[in-house]
Copies of this chain bind each other. A is one copy, B any other.
Amino acid sequence: MHRSQPPDLSIDTLGPCRIPSPIAHLLEAVRTGEHYVDERDRVLLDDTLEGISARGVAPQDLPGMEPCGPRRQIFFDPAKTRAAIVTCGGLCPGLNDVIAGLVRSLTYHYKVRRVVGIRNGYQGFVPEYGHDVVDLTPETVRDIAVEGGTVLGTSRGHQDPEKIVDCLERLHVNVLFVVGGDGSMRGAMEIARVCRERGLFIGVVGVPKTIDNDIPYIDQSFGFQTAFSHASDAIRAATVEAKSTANGIGMVKLMGRHSGFIACYAALARSDADVVLIPEVPFALDGEGGLLAHVRRRVAERGHAVVVVAEGAGQELLGDHGDHQDGDRDASGNARLHDIGPYLRRRIADHFSDAGIETSIRYIDPSYAIRSVPANPYDSVYCVRLSQAAVHAAMSGRTGMVVGRYRRRFVHIPMTVAVSRRNQVDPHGDLWMAVLESTGQPARFR
């Protein structure tokens, strides 16, 4: 069975994440005639016969995740609830859709009266930075999703969780929505921990953001479809350039530090790529089975070649050879990568030059142009539904968890699980097989 994302967690880690509270009785949710999620229901982590049988336990003991959705009983009294929203890390299509969705759902569905936006990521909580908070209403967020980026601004890097909770207390915030990546969710876990230590009833709910689609147990992260759609345009451009000259080569470096999803999907969306290189599949450059010889053969056969490389691919090749980037980690704590793009470009150029073949290499790196585009309609819908799910989770008293879509179901995922590992392209899975079929490249360059 070809999975792109084989589940491997024990059931214990998937239990509900609730605000620890002595409150015996939850509130009845506003009656709007809608239907409620049964608090005892779960979505199975593994839905293959193979997976289920292997465990040998009764069905009710199989690991599963809570479905998202409105609960009959809620934790917070909407009339007295204050919500805050913060967006962290790099841009990703859909941030404004999430912000707008959260505000609308809080306001229209639960009648929450005050929602504030924190400016410039976690910096906005820290007085030293001097950023204001902004009031968010359905009116102020009406048209924000037309533009990309985030109206709240963002920043990278860690901030002191004690200071952040100080700020939440000052603002009388009850529920905090953190829209951010891996590092931001670790920050959110610290915030939840400090709240717990101080005995504060503050819910911290995450909407996980990663343009690389590398969050485990999430079908596709928001903005991913928009991102790979635009990435496929870059492949188109590189192909047109490559075809326009004798022995032309087009190279496209795409996002994907640890996961090659954007490269795979963008390449599948066009039938143009001759090679796709991703972090999950190491490759050799030299020798008859290596990448360079393969590219040369393709140019000989077709008159041109197109190479798509994820930014995290081939790090193993770059020991001392890659274009160094200063420092080892960026402000968000992400490991700095060597830059495979220019290195590969140079190696290909040298290889053709050594072989006495005149070529012309066009190199396209569309990263920033992609991060800043508005969400496409699919991602807009997805962001709306994620934000509705996040609001329901928060109002029901959840904390320390994120919302996501797992096998088409919206589910609650503990933050500990969401940051436990990265979702990666399975080199034995059907996505990578589809790429191999589409490009005709060998399973491995070696």
Type the 1/0 row for A1-26, where 1 means its CB is closer than 8 Å to any CB of B. 11000000000000000000000000
Q: Which listed residue (B53, B131, B369, B380) contacts A269, Cβ 8 A? A: B380
Query: Which of A100-108, A276-284, A334-342, A349-357 participates in binding chain B?
Result: A100-108
Contact of B225 with A378 in the complex, beta carbons under 8 Å: yes
Contact of B53 with A49 in the complex, beta carbons under 8 Å: no
Q: Which listed residue (B237, B378, B430) contacts A148, Cβ 8 A? A: B237
Q: Which of A2, A155, A232, A244 has the most CB of B within 10 A?
A: A244
Which residue of chain B has the shortest Cβ distance to A431 in the bound complex? Answer: B385
Q: Which residues of B contact A274 (CB under 8 A)?
A: none
A155 to B241 Cα, complex, angstroms: 11
A245 within 8 A of B: yes
A48 to B245 Cα, complex, angstroms: 43
Q: Which listed residue (B38, B120, B229, B372) contacts A377, Cβ 8 A? A: B229
A167 within 8 A of B: no
Contact of A35 with B225 in the complex, beta carbons under 8 Å: no
A177 within 8 A of B: no
Contact of B265 with A433 in the complex, beta carbons under 8 Å: no
Minimum C-beta distance from A136 to chain B (A): 14
Contact of A236 with B37 in the complex, beta carbons under 8 Å: no
Q: Which listed residue (B2, B43, B271, B368) contacts A100, Cβ 8 A? A: B271
Minimum C-beta distance from A68 to chain B (A): 8
Q: Which residues of B contact A265 (CB under 8 A)?
A: 377-378, 381
A291 within 8 A of B: no
Type the 1/0 row for A352-381, where 1 means its CB is closer than 8 Å to any CB of B. 000000000011101011011100111011
Q: Which listed residue (B1, B52, B244) contacts A59, Cβ 8 A? A: B52
Type the 1/0 row for A239-275, where 1 means its CB is closer than 8 Å to any CB of B. 0110111100000000000000000011011110000
Type the 1/0 row for A103-133, where 1 means its CB is closer than 8 Å to any CB of B. 0110011000000000010010000010100
Contact of B237 with A67 in the complex, beta carbons under 8 Å: no
Q: Assuming the A-B contacts A48-B44, A368-B362, are A246 and B131 also in contact, with contact meaning beta carbons closer than 8 angstroms in the complex?
A: yes
Contact of A434 with B388 in the complex, beta carbons under 8 Å: yes
Q: Which residues of B contact A33 (CB under 8 A)?
A: 442-444
A321 within 8 A of B: no
A384 to B149 Cα, complex, angstroms: 25
Q: A305-354: which have CB < 8 Å to B?
A: none
Q: Assuming the A-B contacts A150-B244, A240-B372, are A377 and B228 also in contact, with contact meaning beta carbons closer than 8 angstroms in the complex?
A: yes
Contact of B48 with A437 in the complex, beta carbons under 8 Å: no
A interface residues, how many (CB within 8 angstroms): 102
Query: Which of A139-147, A202-210, A393-401 participates in binding chain B?
Result: A139-147
A53 to B29 Cα, complex, angstroms: 28
Q: Assuming the A-B contacts A108-B440, A437-B109, are A1 and B240 also in contact, with contact meaning beta carbons closer than 8 angstroms in the complex?
A: no
Q: Which listed residue (B241, B407, B438) contacts A372, Cβ 8 A? A: B241
Q: Which listed residue (B37, B225, B246) contacts A1, Cβ 8 A? A: B37
A48 to B233 Cα, complex, angstroms: 39
A297 within 8 A of B: no
Which residue of chain B has the shortest Cβ distance to A303 in the bound complex? Answer: B153
Q: Which residues of B contact A153 (CB under 8 A)?
A: 243-246
Q: Which residues of B contact A47 (CB under 8 A)?
A: 43-44, 47, 407
Which residue of chain B has the shortest Cβ distance to A155 in the bound complex? Answer: B245
A381 to B109 Cα, complex, angstroms: 36
A438 to B105 Cα, complex, angstroms: 8
Contact of A1 with B67 in the complex, beta carbons under 8 Å: yes
A293 within 8 A of B: no
Contact of B49 with A380 in the complex, beta carbons under 8 Å: no
Contact of A143 with B146 in the complex, beta carbons under 8 Å: yes
Which residue of chain B has the shortest Cβ distance to A229 in the bound complex? Answer: B377
A residues whose Cβ falls under 8 Å from a Cβ of B: 1-2, 32-35, 37-38, 40-44, 47-50, 52-53, 59-60, 62, 64, 67-70, 91, 100, 104-105, 108-109, 120, 123, 129, 131, 142-143, 145-150, 153-155, 219, 225, 228-229, 232-234, 236-238, 240-241, 243-246, 265-266, 268-271, 362-364, 366, 368-369, 371-373, 376-378, 380-381, 384-385, 388, 407-410, 428, 430, 433-434, 436-438, 440, 442-444
Q: Which 4 A-B pairs have the closest CB atoms?
A: A47-B47, A269-B377, A149-B240, A240-B372
